[in-house]
Chains A and B, each alone.
Chain A
Amino acid sequence: MLSDCEAAELLSFLTPSTRPDVKGKATEYILGLSGNRDGCRFLCSKADLIAALLALTSDPSVAIVKDCYHILINLSADETLHQVLVSKVKILPVLLKNLQDPDYLFSDHISTILSNLSRHEKTCRTVFEVLQEEVGLAKLVEIFCNESYNKKAKLHYMGPLLSNLTQLPEARSYMMDQDRCVIQRLLPFTHYEGSLVRRGGVIGTLRNCCFEHAHHEWLLSDAVDILPFLLLPLAGPEELTEEENEGLPVDLQYLPEDKKREEDPDIRKMLLETLLLLTATKAGRQTLKQKNVYPILREFHRWEKDVYVAAACEKLIQVLIGDEPEQGMENLMEVEIPQDVEEKLKEADAKEQEELEREERMRREEEEKKKRDAEGTDQEK
Chain B
Amino acid sequence: MASTEAQDDSDDGMDAFMDKFKSQRYKNALSENNWEEEFNKIPMFMKTAPEEIDPKKYPELACLQSIIHDEDRTPEEQAKSLKDEGNSYFKEKKYKHAVVAYTAALKKKCGDQEFNAVLLTNRAASHFHLGNMRSALNDAAAAKKLKPDHLKALIRGAQCCLELRNFPDAIQWCDEGLKSHPTDNKLRELRATADKQKRAAERDARKAKAKEKKLTGEKEALLSAIKDRGIKLYQPMSSAPEGSGSEGEDESPSAGIAQLSLDSLSSLEVTGAQVSLDEQGSLHWPVLFLYPEHQQSDFISAFCENNSFRDHLSVMFGEELPPWDTDKKYHPQNLQLYFEDEEKETLYQVDPDSSLLNILQHKRFFVKAGTPSFMVLVKGSSFWKQFLSGKKIRGL
Give the interface of A toward B (CB within 8 A): 138, 142, 179-181, 184, 222-223, 225, 228, 250-251, 253-256
Contact = CB atoms under 8 A, between A and B. Distances in A.
Contacts of B209: 254, 256
7 contacts: A179-B183, A181-B182, A184-B191, A184-B192, A253-B206, A253-B207, A254-B210
Nearest to A223: B192
Interface string B166-187: 0000000011001100110100
Contact of A180 (B174, B182, B195, B199): B182
Nearest to B205: A254
Contacts of A254: 203, 206-207, 209-210
Among B191, B199, B209, find the residue whose CB has the most chain A CB atoms closer than 10 A: B199
B206 A222 contact: no
Contact of B200 (A179, A223, A250, A256): A250
B196 interface: yes
Given A180-B182, A181-B178, A254-B210, A222 B192 contact: yes
Nearest to B188: A181
Contacts of B188: 179-181, 223
A206 B290 CA distance: 71
A255 B206 contact: yes
Given A180-B183, A181-B188, A254-B206, A222 B199 contact: no
Nearest to B184: A179
B196 A222 contact: yes
Nearest to B207: A254
Contacts of B183: 179-180
Contacts of A180: 178, 182-183, 188
5 smallest beta-carbon distances between A and B, as pairs = A254-B206, A179-B183, A254-B207, A250-B203, A254-B210
B196 A225 contact: yes
Nearest to B183: A179
Contacts of A228: 199
Contacts of A256: 206, 209-210
A225 B193 CA distance: 11
B196 A138 contact: no
A76 B113 CA distance: 49
Given A228-B199, A255-B206, 8 more contacts: A142-B179, A180-B182, A181-B191, A225-B192, A250-B196, A250-B203, A251-B202, A254-B203
A138 B203 contact: no
Contacts of A255: 206
Among A138, A184, A250, A256, find the residue whose CB has the most chain B CB atoms closer than 10 A: A250
Contacts of B199: 228, 250-251
Nearest to B178: A181
A222 B199 CA distance: 12
A176 to B, nearest CB: 14
A149 to B, nearest CB: 12
A82 B125 CA distance: 55
Interface string B364-376: 0000000000000
A80 to B, nearest CB: 38
B203 A253 contact: yes
A220 to B, nearest CB: 14
B163 to A, nearest CB: 20
Contacts of A181: 174-175, 178, 182, 188, 191
Given A222-B192, A222-B196, A225-B196, A251 B178 contact: no
A142 B174 CA distance: 13
A228 B196 CA distance: 11
A142 B182 CA distance: 11
Interface string B324-367: 00000000000000000000000000000000000000000000
Contacts of A251: 199, 202-203
Contacts of B192: 184, 222-223, 225
A168 to B, nearest CB: 21
B213 to A, nearest CB: 9
A61 to B, nearest CB: 35
A228 B200 CA distance: 12
B219 to A, nearest CB: 18
A256 B212 CA distance: 12
Nearest to A145: B175
Interface string B198-227: 011011001101100000000000000000
A186 B174 CA distance: 16
A180 B182 CA distance: 6
A97 to B, nearest CB: 19
B59 to A, nearest CB: 57
A77 B275 CA distance: 71
A342 to B, nearest CB: 42
A184 B188 CA distance: 10
A251 B202 CA distance: 8
Among A142, A179, A181, A256, find the residue whose CB has the most chain B CB atoms closer than 10 A: A181
B209 to A, nearest CB: 7
Contacts of A179: 183, 185, 188
Contacts of B206: 253-256
A40 to B, nearest CB: 40
Nearest to B201: A250
A253 B206 CA distance: 8
Contacts of A184: 191-192, 195
B40 to A, nearest CB: 51
Contacts of B196: 222, 225, 250
A231 to B, nearest CB: 13
B365 to A, nearest CB: 38
A229 to B, nearest CB: 10
Contacts of B207: 253-254
B281 to A, nearest CB: 21
Interface in B134-185: 174-175, 178-179, 182-183, 185
A184 B192 CA distance: 9
A155 B332 CA distance: 84
A255 B209 CA distance: 10
Contacts of B195: 184
A138 B195 CA distance: 19
